[in-house]
């Protein structure tokens, strides 16, 4: 487990504060702003895992309110440990896990991606949905996910990406940069948080650039599946067994 430098810790604290402030409306706004598509994306992402593993042991990084973890139990018969830096998001996740009666299958721990509190080679799968761009250090987070995987284990990243085709790219850009922040602010009362969302997506490497980050973190056999015209992507890769 690694320690954080001052710059990384400062960014982590800012992200933690932001998500604590919107936790109460987070699920509602996800459904509203994505027109419910986020649920389909998560099912598709977990389906990729279920197609390769039976009853896997999974680390869910930036678990938030535990949507992906719950989907992994239902679809893949997984046991899941979720980690997140936001106490408010984790509390919302705990309540949801209790409602679904999945307390024996899902555990949650307050921790960041850059300093995962588990030994090396523990998990079959490490997954994260819409969280890598929020890591205080995305590359360090990916390296930590690589560290805690068993040899041959899989990383699965579900993340926003930017569509390329005309005119969808322009329509998406208008909605994402103009409409989404306005609606998010209206329902959450936090203009900064929903201005951060499009800004962070536009600034974060996607497509081939993100594949390069996964490769630099030590993963091989990397692939990308584009969803809904390229609005989001599922990236997968594997930890090459030690020689």
Band of residue 204 on the pLDDT scale cut at 50, 70, 90: confident
Q: What is the pLDDT of residue 174?
A: 74
Per-residue pLDDT band for 242 (boundaries 50, 70, 90) equals low
Mean pLDDT of the chain: 87
Q: Report whether pLDDT(228) > 90.
A: no
What the chain holds in terms of domains, given with CATH numbers, is: 6-163+205-239 (3.40.50.150)
pLDDT computed for residue 36 by the predictor: 76
DSSP-derived pairing of the beta strands 232-239 and 149-160: antiparallel
The helix or strand, by DSSP H or E, that contains position 10, with its residue range, turns out to be helix 6-22
pTM metric for this prediction: 0.86
Phi, psi of 54 (to 5 degrees): -110, 125
Q: Which H helix or E strand runs over 150?
A: strand 149-160
Contact assessment for residue 152 and residue 238, using Cβ atoms and an 8 Å cutoff: yes
Is residue 150's pLDDT more than 70? yes
- H/E stretch holding 14 reads helix 6-22
Average pLDDT on 160-168 reads: 73
- Residue 189 has a pLDDT of 66
Read off the pLDDT of residues 37-71 as tens digits, 9 standing for 90 and up: 889 999 999 999 999 999 999 999 999 999 999 99
Cα dihedral 221→225→226→231 (10° resolution)? -80
3-state secondary structure of 66: coil
For the record, the structure tokens of 77 come out as 């018969």
Q: Which residues contact 230 (CB under 8 A, 6 or more apart)?
A: 161, 162, 163, 164, 165, 168
């Amino acid at each position: 487990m690694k320690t954080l430098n001052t710059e990384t810790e400062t960014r982590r604290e800012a992200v933690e504060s932001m998500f604590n402030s919107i936790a109460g409306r987070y699920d509602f706004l996800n459904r509203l702003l994505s027109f419910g598509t986020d649920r389909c994306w998560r099912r598709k992402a977990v389906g990729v895992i279920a197609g390769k593993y039976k009853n896997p042991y999974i680390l869910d990084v930036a678990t938030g309110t535990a949507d992906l973890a719950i989907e992994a139990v239902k679809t893949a018969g997984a046991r899941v440990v979720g980690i997140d830096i936001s106490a408010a998001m984790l509390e919302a996740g705990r309540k949801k896990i209790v409602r679904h009666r999945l307390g024996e299958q899902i555990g949650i721990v307050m921790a960041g991606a850059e300093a995962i509190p588990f030994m090396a080679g523990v998990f079959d799968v490490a997954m994260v949905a819409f969280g890598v761009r929020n890591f205080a250090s995305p590359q360090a987070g990916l390296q930590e996910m690589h560290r805690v995987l068993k040899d041959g284990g899989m990383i699965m990243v579900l993340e926003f990406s930017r569509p390329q085709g005309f005119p969808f790219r322009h329509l998406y850009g208008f909605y994402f940069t103009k409409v989404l922040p306005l609606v998010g602010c209206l329902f959450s009362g936090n203009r900064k948080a929903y201005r951060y969302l499009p800004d962070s997506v536009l600034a974060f490497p996607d497509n081939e650039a993100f594949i390069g980050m996964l490769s630099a973190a030590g993963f091989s056999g990397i692939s990308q599946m584009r969803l809904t015209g390229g609005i989001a992507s599922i990236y997968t890769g594997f930890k090459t067994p030690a020689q």
